[in-house]
């Protein structure tokens, strides 16, 4: 019950911020030259002025900017995200269709990065300034510095073109209709390369953070105490160091959840995945205001939720931090 | 900047040329005697999703590549670029050019089983081509009515003479028919059928997953005997060009139309025996690279400055080093692929001559002070690598004659708004698309009185009564010989005045699997119905 009321208060406090963000994005997009009809004309390869006028009326662009904004906010109050001009259907439907691939890809790559970042971070910290540390840190830096589109393309060339082990793109096999477990396996096969591509970049960050925070905790007094009282090294690491060193990692997950819904335009494009990142990119290029604002709205909601969960996790990891700060 | 730095690209360009040259003859293999094989799935690269798929209300290759297999047009072009009947069996025009009668094929049904009749043609013409279809609304501006005395006859009645050869060359693109019974009620633009098209074509729409794929299956009741050969066509949405090339190599794609891959990937795949890389089958989709001048700048209103700019740019050097065999020297707004209207190269041209450019600028009174005469803002369109390279080349070339160029880049919507609506440019560069007849989408680049905001039209602040008259006369001239002469006159006039310079001609490049047969056999093959396309084992 206490958690629920806390959640409610958090949400209420975020509403003004949410509105400011939406108004900001709306106005920012007005600054970009051209509207969705110009973008449509560019796509069609031309059209006459009468057609353009008709289309502006059709998309509700003949209204003034404040009127459009008021219109949008009024619809939003009634939880109506409006109509997408590129897709010709409600924004909520469009976003819901794109959510599963995005969430699947992002949870998979974040889990991958978190788990291996943690393992390699611990190994590197334990062998600090010796060869395991050097090897792990070097690879981490290489992954971090390599552009993801290159990684993705190289992965496709090696695993799909030459070895032909994995599909080069798409979310699932179109040729055959699969159901149940086979469909799940098929989707999993399609997600291996994008998960690795995206995960390797996150991995480097988690690895560095984990290593640094392990080293910091290892030098604290209570670790010396633990060792002095005769605990073996594995025990010290898992029970004492790890739990304390995890706090920065959890903070990072909370921060990265924001980018989660935004997805990754590059990886989604290279692997032709129907994710939210590509949707957001397309709605900017096509000046589809409603869709873009819808994505911003949903992402903002998600960030609020994830940060709330992160706060609860803090309290769990470190009992000194009370859930309510009182 | 030193132009010799561009040498780095020479080697790649030469390799490209060789690779393409070697492959242009390859399509001939398709004509070897082989028995057509039924069956197979044909996977097509779909680079940019459109908002809808009905070619009766949107004229663009992105729609034809899908909708053109499901819906059909009244006429199309044959291998020699001549009109050939599809839904229409025959046609004739009255001598005054005000009435055109189409006889329609019998026994054709829509995919939902309803019969196709002249009612469908009349409804589509009056409600879609005339009111919604881009370029169609201009073409059919003076269409008064379509009479349907019987189900197999559609009589188009025009207020002003409509040249039959213009109509027949425009209808392959602007003459797709939609089913009246599906569009009669409600707003045509919002009709859900636009995203699940129903037609008379060789393939039936099955499924569209936005952002992923579109599927169409063989139509067993298709009206042509023994067609189509393929069981299924799958269009895969792949926005990343390099990833699409990798999918071609992995065998997941059979065909990438309309220069869908990067120039370097097309060159690379051209050397691979598994693929054919060619410009064949795209002759009907010619385009020219432009330099558009804004006459509101006093410098550019001076004809000597416009000519000096043209003389200052070494176009053959640019083509050789950057575009290879994908392009050739252009001679004006009507490209050489347009056999019916090309006036030949014997019109005013502006070959590279730096000394002459400098002399012209001096003569116009824009003396160089500290090496600089004046600065101009150049807006390149964001479609195509070639435009980006071309704009940098313009910048470097003009700096050599003392004109400083600032390149301002925009995305598609932004470019159109800034150039054709806000007129916030000095120079702009993009593509002019030629659509088989100059009256469809070419003369609007020069005719005065274009409404502000209409993209790809004369927004230069330039007006020439003589040119306007030539354009208007040609648009209603019924005699094909006189029409051709009028357009030759038009090219001469606009090449003299130079409100827009069109010095490069390009045709889209096709990348297709070497297993395909009967492909690239008409000038707009990527847009056609593919009823005879088959895949060898």
Three-state DSSP string of B272-305: CCCEEEECCCCHHHEEEEEEEECCCCHHHHCHHH
pLDDT tops 70 at residue A323: no
Of B249, B411, B441, the CB nearest to A285: B411
pLDDT given for residue B32 in this prediction: 53
Report how far residue B338's alpha carbon sits from residue B342's, in angstroms, rounded to the nearest whole number. 5
- The token pair at A293 is 């604002």
Q: Which of A28, A40, A43 to mutate to test the interface with B (most CBs of B within 10 A)?
A: A43
More confidently predicted of B234 and A198: B234
pLDDT tops 80 at residue B33: no
State the residue for tokens 């002070």: B369
Q: Do A274 and B212 touch (CB under 8 A)?
A: yes
Q: DSSP string spanning B13-61?
A: HHHHHHHHHHHHTGGGGGGS--------EEEEEE-S--S---TTT--SH
Cβ-count burial of B317 within 10 angstroms (0-12 exposed, 13-18 middle, 19+ buried)? middle
Residue of B nearest to A38 (CA): B413
| Listed ranges A26-35, A76-85, A154-163, B175-184; the one with the highest mean pLDDT | B175-184
* Nearest residue to B333 via CA among B510, B493, B511, B193: B493
Report how far residue B450's alpha carbon sits from residue B347's, in angstroms, rounded to the nearest whole number. 26
CA distances from B88 to B60, B85, B167 (A): 22, 5, 13
pLDDT given for residue B12 in this prediction: 45
pLDDT tops 60 at residue B29: no
Measure B350 CA to nearest chain A CA, in Å: 28
Report how far residue B251's alpha carbon sits from residue B241's, in angstroms, rounded to the nearest whole number. 15
Q: Sorting pLDDT into bands at 50, 70 and 90, what band is B403?
A: very high
In tens, the pLDDT along A273-286 reads 988 888 988 888 88
Q: What are the chain A neighbours of B194 within 8 Å (beta carbons)?
A: 88
Measured in whole angstroms, the distance separating CA B53 from the mean position of its chain's CA atoms is 17
State the residue for tokens 């700048």: B297
Q: What are the chain A neighbours of B383 within 8 Å (beta carbons)?
A: 42
Q: What are the chain A neighbours of B135 within 8 Å (beta carbons)?
A: 46-47
Q: Do A274 and B211 touch (CB under 8 A)?
A: yes
Measure A198 CA to nearest chain B CA, in Å: 16
In tens, the pLDDT along B469-502 reads 999 999 989 999 999 999 999 999 999 999 999 9
In tens, the pLDDT along B126-176 reads 999 999 898 888 899 999 999 999 999 999 999 999 999 899 999 999 999
Mean pLDDT of chain B: 91
Residue of A nearest to B453 (CA): A49
Q: Do A49 and B421 touch (CB under 8 A)?
A: no
The whole-number average pLDDT for the span A232-248 is 85
Q: DSSP string spanning B228-247?
A: ---SEEEEEE---HHHHHHH
Report how far residue B114's alpha carbon sits from residue B176's, in angstroms, rounded to the nearest whole number. 17
Of A33, A85, A167, the CB nearest to B417: A33
Q: Sorting pLDDT into bands at 50, 70 and 90, what band is B63?
A: very high
Q: Which of A31, A47, A58, A86 to mutate to test the interface with B (most CBs of B within 10 A)?
A: A47
Q: Are A215 and A125 in contact (CB under 8 A)?
A: yes
Q: What are the chain B neighbours of A34 within 8 Å (beta carbons)?
A: 410-418
Alpha-carbon Rg for chain B in angstroms: 24
Report how far residue B8's alpha carbon sits from residue B3's, in angstroms, rounded to the nearest whole number. 11
Report how far residue B211's alpha carbon sits from residue B68's, in angstroms, rounded to the nearest whole number. 20
Report how far residue B39's alpha carbon sits from residue B232's, in angstroms, rounded to the nearest whole number. 8
| Listed ranges A65-69, A158-162, A316-320, B53-57; the one with the highest mean pLDDT | B53-57
Report how far residue B356's alpha carbon sits from residue B304's, in angstroms, rounded to the nearest whole number. 10
What sign does the dihedral A243-A248-A254-A256 (CA atoms) show? Answer: negative
Of A32, A49, A85, the CB nearest to B453: A49
Q: Are B267 and B12 in contact (CB under 8 A)?
A: yes
| Number of cross-chain residue pairs from A and B with Cβ atoms under 8 Å apart | 168
pLDDT given for residue A276 in this prediction: 87
Q: Do B433 and A50 touch (CB under 8 A)?
A: no
Report how far residue A186's alpha carbon sits from residue A290's, in angstroms, rounded to the nearest whole number. 33
Q: Sorting pLDDT into bands at 50, 70 and 90, what band is B93?
A: very high
* Nearest residue to B478 via CA among B83, B77, B100, B82: B100
In tens, the pLDDT along B427-437 reads 999 999 998 89
pLDDT given for residue B357 in this prediction: 96
CA distances from B151 to B116, B121, B147, B148, B223 (A): 8, 10, 10, 7, 17
Q: What are the chain B neighbours of A85 within 8 Å (beta carbons)?
A: 51
Q: Are A292 and A22 in contact (CB under 8 A)?
A: no
CA distances from B226 to A268, B86, B205, B215 (A): 41, 16, 19, 21
Bridge partner list, B153: B103
Percentage of chain B with pLDDT > 90?
77
- The token pair at A4 is 């629920």
Q: Do B242 and A85 touch (CB under 8 A)?
A: no
Q: Do A269 and B243 touch (CB under 8 A)?
A: yes
pLDDT tops 90 at residue B465: yes
Q: Do B413 and A39 touch (CB under 8 A)?
A: yes
Q: Do B240 and A88 touch (CB under 8 A)?
A: no
pLDDT tops 80 at residue A258: no
Q: Which of A95, A100, A168 to mutate to test the interface with B (most CBs of B within 10 A)?
A: A168
Q: What are the chain B neighbours of A97 within 8 Å (beta carbons)?
A: 210
Residue of A nearest to B217 (CA): A175
Mean pLDDT of chain A: 84
CA dihedral B218, B219, B221, B222 (to 10 degrees): -100
pLDDT given for residue A218 in this prediction: 86
Q: Do B236 and A98 touch (CB under 8 A)?
A: no
Of B58, B215, B414, the CB nearest to A174: B215
The whole-number average pLDDT for the span B71-87 is 94
DSSP state, residue B325: G
In tens, the pLDDT along A119-152 reads 999 899 888 888 989 999 898 888 888 888 888 8
Q: Are B89 and B104 in contact (CB under 8 A)?
A: yes
Please count the CA atoms within 13 angstroms of the CA of A31 that sit on its side-chain side.
6
pTM strictly above 0.90:
no
Q: Do A98 and B242 touch (CB under 8 A)?
A: no
Task: List phi, psi (to 5°) of A320.
Answer: -70, -25
Of B234-238, B435-439, B466-470, the one with minimum mean pLDDT is B435-439
Residue of B nearest to A42 (CA): B412
Of A44, A160, A270, the CB nearest to B59: A44
pLDDT given for residue B27 in this prediction: 46
Report how far residue B270's alpha carbon sits from residue B278's, in angstroms, rounded to the nearest whole number. 8
Q: Do A46 and B455 touch (CB under 8 A)?
A: yes
- CB burial readout B491-518, b (16+ within 10 A) else e: bbbbbebbbbbbbbbbbbbbbbbbbbbe
- The token pair at B514 is 């070497």
Q: Do B411 and A279 touch (CB under 8 A)?
A: no
| Listed ranges A302-306, A310-314, B131-135; the one with the highest mean pLDDT | B131-135
Cβ-count burial of B229 within 10 angstroms (0-12 exposed, 13-18 middle, 19+ buried)? buried
Of A49, A51, A269, the CB nearest to B240: A269
Q: Do B413 and A269 touch (CB under 8 A)?
A: no
pLDDT given for residue B391 in this prediction: 97
Measure A308 CA to nearest chain B CA, in Å: 32
In tens, the pLDDT along A186-235 reads 888 999 999 998 888 888 889 989 999 989 988 888 888 888 888 888 88
Report how far residue A126's alpha carbon sits from residue A120's, in angstroms, rounded to the nearest whole number. 10
pLDDT given for residue A246 in this prediction: 87
Q: Are B446 and B474 in contact (CB under 8 A)?
A: no
In tens, the pLDDT along B108-127 reads 999 999 999 999 999 999 99
- CB burial readout B2-28, b (16+ within 10 A) else e: eeeebeeeeeebebbbebbeebeebbe
Bridge partner list, B236: B45, B213
Q: Which of A28, A29, A35, A41 to mutate to test the interface with B (most CBs of B within 10 A)?
A: A41
Q: Do A161 and B239 touch (CB under 8 A)?
A: no
Measure A147 CA to nearest chain B CA, in Å: 14
Report how far residue B291's alpha carbon sits from residue B427's, in angstroms, rounded to the nearest whole number. 7
- The token pair at B466 is 């003589």
Q: Do A38 and B51 touch (CB under 8 A)?
A: no
Cβ-count burial of B279 within 10 angstroms (0-12 exposed, 13-18 middle, 19+ buried)? buried
Q: What are the chain B neighbours of A157 within 8 Å (beta carbons)?
A: 246, 249
Report how far residue A203's alpha carbon sits from residue A206's, in angstroms, rounded to the nearest whole number. 5
Q: Do A34 and B417 touch (CB under 8 A)?
A: yes
pLDDT given for residue A80 in this prediction: 87
Q: Do B413 and A274 touch (CB under 8 A)?
A: no
Measure A269 CA to nearest chain B CA, in Å: 5
Q: Do B413 and A168 touch (CB under 8 A)?
A: no
pLDDT tops 70 at residue B105: yes
The whole-number average pLDDT for the span B272-277 is 94
Q: What are the chain B neighbours of A187 within 8 Å (beta carbons)?
A: none
Q: What are the chain B neighbours of A285 within 8 Å (beta carbons)?
A: 411-413
Q: What are the chain A neighbours of B132 within 8 Å (beta carbons)?
A: 51, 54
Q: Is the peptide bond before B228 cis (omega within 30 degrees of 0)?
A: yes
Report how far residue B133's alpha carbon sits from residue B55's, in angstroms, rounded to the nearest whole number. 8
The angle at the Cα of B244, spanning B241 to B246, to the nearest 5 degrees, equals: 115
Q: Do A272 and B237 touch (CB under 8 A)?
A: yes
Q: Which of A28, A30, A46, A190 to mutate to test the interface with B (most CBs of B within 10 A)?
A: A46
ipTM score above 0.95:
no
pLDDT given for residue A261 in this prediction: 64
Residue of A nearest to B435 (CA): A45
């Amino acid at each position: 019950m206490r958690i629920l009321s806390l959640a409610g208060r958090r949400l209420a406090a975020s509403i003004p911020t949410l509105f400011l963000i939406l108004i900001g994005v709306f106005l920012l997009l007005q600054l970009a030259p051209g509207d969705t009809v110009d973008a449509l004309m560019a796509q069609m390869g031309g059209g006459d002025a009468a057609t353009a006028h008709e289309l502006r009326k059709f998309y509700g662009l003949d209204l003034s900017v404040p009127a459009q904004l008021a219109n949008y906010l009024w619809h939003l109050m009634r939880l109506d995200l409006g109509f997408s001009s590129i897709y010709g259907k409600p924004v909520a439907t469009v976003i819901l269709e794109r959510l599963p691939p995005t969430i699947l890809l992002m949870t998979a790559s974040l889990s991958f990065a978190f788990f291996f970042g943690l393992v390699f971070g611990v190994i590197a910290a334990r062998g600090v300034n010796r060869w395991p540390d050097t090897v792990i840190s070097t690879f981490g830096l290489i992954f971090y510095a390599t552009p993801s589109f290159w990684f993705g393309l190289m992965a496709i060339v090696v695993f799909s073109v030459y070895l032909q082990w994995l599909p080069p793109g798409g979310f699932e096999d179109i040729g055959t209709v699969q159901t149940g477990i086979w469909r799940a396996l098929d989707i999993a096969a399609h997600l291996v390369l994008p998960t690795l591509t995206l995960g390797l970049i996150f991995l480097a960050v988690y690895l560095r953070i984990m290593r640094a925070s392990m080293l910091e905790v290892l030098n604290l007094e209570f670790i010396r105490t633990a060792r002095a009282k005769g605990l073996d090294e594995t025990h010290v690491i898992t029970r004492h160091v790890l739990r304390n060193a995890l706090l920065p990692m959890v903070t990072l997950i909370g921060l990265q959840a924001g980018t989660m819904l935004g997805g990754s335009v590059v990886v989604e494009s290279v692997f032709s995945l129907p994710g939210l990142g590509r949707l957001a990119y397309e709605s900017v290029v096509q000046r589809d205001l409603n869709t873009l604002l819808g994505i911003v709205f949903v992402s903002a909601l998600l960030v609020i939720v994830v940060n709330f969960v992160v706060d609860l996790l803090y309290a769990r990891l470190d009992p000194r931090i009370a859930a309510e700060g009182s | 900047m030193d132009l010799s730095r561009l040498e780095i690209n020479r080697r790649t360009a030469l390799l490209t040329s060789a690779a393409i040259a070697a492959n242009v003859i390859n399509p001939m293999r398709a004509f070897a005697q082989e028995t057509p094989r039924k069956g197979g799935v044909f996977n097509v690269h779909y680079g940019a999703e459109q908002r809808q798929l009905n070619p009766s209300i949107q004229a663009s290759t992105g729609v034809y590549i899908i909708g053109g297999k499901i819906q059909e047009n009244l006429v199309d072009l044959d291998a020699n670029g001549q009109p050939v009947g599809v839904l229409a069996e025959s046609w004739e025009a009255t001598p005054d050019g005000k009435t055109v009668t189409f006889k329609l094929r019998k026994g054709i049904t829509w995919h939902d089983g309803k019969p196709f009749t002249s009612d469908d043609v009349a409804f589509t013409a009056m409600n879609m081509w005339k009111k919604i279809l881009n370029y169609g609304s201009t073409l059919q501006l003076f269409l008064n009515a379509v009479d349907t005395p019987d189900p197999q006859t559609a009589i188009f009645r025009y207020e002003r003479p409509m040249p039959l050869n213009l109509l027949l060359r425009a209808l392959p693109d602007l003459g797709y028919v939609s089913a009246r019974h599906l569009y009669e009620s409600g707003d045509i633009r919002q009709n859900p059928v636009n995203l699940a098209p129903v037609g008379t074509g060789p393939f039936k729409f099955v499924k569209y997953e936005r952002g992923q794929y579109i599927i169409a299956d063989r139509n067993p009741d298709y009206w042509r005997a023994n067609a189509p050969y393929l069981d299924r066509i799958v269009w895969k949405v792949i926005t990343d060009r390099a990833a699409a090339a990798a999918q071609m190599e992995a065998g997941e794609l059979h065909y990438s139309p309309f220069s869908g891959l990067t120039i370097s990937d097309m060159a690379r795949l051209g050397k691979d025996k598994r693929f054919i890389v060619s410009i064949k089958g795209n002759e009907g989709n010619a385009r020219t690279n432009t330099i558009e001048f804004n006459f509101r700048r006093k410098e550019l209103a001076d004809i000597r400055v416009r000519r000096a700019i043209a003389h200052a740019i070494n176009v053959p050097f640019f083509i050789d080093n950057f575009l290879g065999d994908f392009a050739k020297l252009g001679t004006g707004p009507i490209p050489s692929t347009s056999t019916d209207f090309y006036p030949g190269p014997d019109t005013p041209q502006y070959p590279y001559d730096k000394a002459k450019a400098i002399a012209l600028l001096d003569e116009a009174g824009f003396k160089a002070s500290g090496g600089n005469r004046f600065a101009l803002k150049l807006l390149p369109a964001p479609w195509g690598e070639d435009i980006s390279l071309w704009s940098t080349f313009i910048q470097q070339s003009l700096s050599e004659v003392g004109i400083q160029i600032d390149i301002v880049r925009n995305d598609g919507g932004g470019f159109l708004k800034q150039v054709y609506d806000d007129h916030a440019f000095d120079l702009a560069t993009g593509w002019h698309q030629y659509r088989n007849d100059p009256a469809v989408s070419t003369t609007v680049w020069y005719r005065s009185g274009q409404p502000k905001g209409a993209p790809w039209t004369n927004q230069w602040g330039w007006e020439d009564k003589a040119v306007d008259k030539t354009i208007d006369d040609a648009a209603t001239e019924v005699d094909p010989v006189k029409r051709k002469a009028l357009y030759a006159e038009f090219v001469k006039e606009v090449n003299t005045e130079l409100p827009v310079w069109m010095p490069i001609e390009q045709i889209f490049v096709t990348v297709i699997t070497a297993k395909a047969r009967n492909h690239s056999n008409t000038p707009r093959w990527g847009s056609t119905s593919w009823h005879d396309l088959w895949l060898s084992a």
